[in-house]
Amino acid sequence: MEILRQGLQVFVRRFGLLQASCCEACCGENVSLAQSHILLEIRRIGSPAMQRVADELGIDITTFSRQAKALAGKGLILRRVSPHDGRVTLLELTDEGLKVLERIDLHMNERMERIFSHMTPFERSIVTHSLDLLSRAVANPGEGETGYLQQATKSGCICG
């Protein structure tokens, strides 16, 4: 298990650095890694409540609210009160937010292609399948346990 844990830590760190360099390199926008994750979740979910995105990303609502305000200030998202519940704020991407995400997607897809170019199609499929298995296992921990990702994001560390 120690080797597996170390391997995951190294991978998470390297992939995090890969992502962190993306926003500065591809967008010409001053979008942080956390903000790019927020934009991605808004697109993935489609007009979600702020609390849902904060929960998905494991960010406390106060910190999340500041990030959402900054993104709105940059014209990348819109925040509006839910017509069904005045206590809920819904998020939506603007056209400019979509354009920024398209640039992030293009940049990350090119980088992923370079990484995967060193693998055979069979190796790619093994990696893809293995990541899917690992992701599902993390999302559905055993009875009475908390998900590893939830623990890691709440504690701020990938140790364990």
Q: Which CATH number characterizes residue 108's domain?
A: 1.10.10.10
User: What per-residue confidence (pLDDT) applies to 140?
Assistant: 76
Instruction: Please check whether residue 148 lies inside any domain of the structure.
Output: no
**Residue 155 belongs to some domain of the structure:** no
Number of separate domains in the chain: 1
Give the model's pLDDT for residue 10: 78
- The reply to whether 159 falls in a domain is no
Q: Is the residue at 158 inside a domain? A: no
Residue 24 domain flag: yes
* Residue range(s) defining the domain that contains residue 68: 2-139
Question: Do the Cβ atoms of 31 and 76 come closer than 8 Å?
Answer: yes
Residue 84 lies in a domain: yes
Q: Of 116, 105, 112, 78, which Cα lies nearest the Cα of 23? A: 105
- Do the domain assignments include residue 150? no
The residues, any chain, with a CB within 8 Å of residue 83's CB and separated by 6 or more, are: none
Would you state the pLDDT for residue 31? 83
Q: Can you tell me the distance from the alpha carbon of 14 to that of 20, in angstroms, rounded to the nearest whole number?
A: 10
Quick one: pLDDT at residue 76? Answer: 95
Tens digits of pLDDT across the chain (160 residues):
788 888 888 777 777 655 655 555 565 567 888 888 899 999 999 999 999 999 989 899 999 999 999 999 999 999 999 999 999 999 999 999 999 999 888 888 888 898 899 999 999 999 999 988 888 888 776 644 444 444 444 444 444 4
d(C-alpha 8, C-alpha 17), whole Å: 14
Q: Is residue 146 part of a domain?
A: no
